[in-house]
Amino acid sequence: MSNEIVLLSGPNLDLLGERSPEIYGPTTLAEHVARFTEMAVSEGFTVRHLQSNFEGELIEAVHQARGRAVAIVINAGALTHSSWALADALSTFEGVKVEVHLTNPAAREPFRHVSTLAGVVSGTVAGFGATSYDLAFDAVRRLVATP
């Protein structure tokens, strides 16, 4: 198995930096990915990133990570609250799985309070803006190092 981290970004995250910057911040997805990748590479990991507005593509990426990657970090966007299929796919991945959100879903609209992914991931980092990605990487680094 490689030292690869699969970084998955769900629907509408390609619009970060321009869509509701007062909620999600001014940082673009490319900037989040570059920062995450820089941290990962400095610790000996590789990163494969996929952003998709299509649930099936994210599911396929999870399937492809099985037996290949050590971790998946996923910001599933709105699919967090509705995709049992994505949760099922993630449940088949045996490595570290970290759900990440820029905002705190529990402090937002009621439909965002439920995560279909929460029961199948190692943990969730939410509400710290761009720092959420830093914290998610730190969690991966620590959990991968723990036997």
Q: What are the domain boundaries of the chain?
A: 4-145
Alpha-carbon torsion, ordered 111, 112, 114, 117, to 10 deg = 130
Q: What is the reported pTM?
A: 0.92
With 70 as the cut, is the pLDDT of residue 107 above it?
no
Is 81 among the residues known to form the active site? no
Q: What is the pLDDT of residue 5?
A: 98
What's the rounded mean pLDDT across residues 101-110? 73
Q: Single out the catalytic residue among 81, 101, 113, 133.
A: 101
Task: Indicate the helix (H) or strand (E) that contains 84.
Answer: helix 84-91
Q: Which CATH number does 4-145 carry? A: 3.40.50.9100
Is 24 among the residues known to form the active site? yes
Q: What is the pLDDT of residue 89?
A: 97
* pLDDT 10s digits, 48-104: 999 999 999 999 999 999 999 999 999 998 888 878 999 999 999 999 999 999 887
Q: Single out the catalytic residue among 24, 32, 49, 133.
A: 24
Give the C-alpha distances (Å, rounded to integers) separating 76 from 1, 11, 24, 132.
Answer: 25, 7, 14, 14
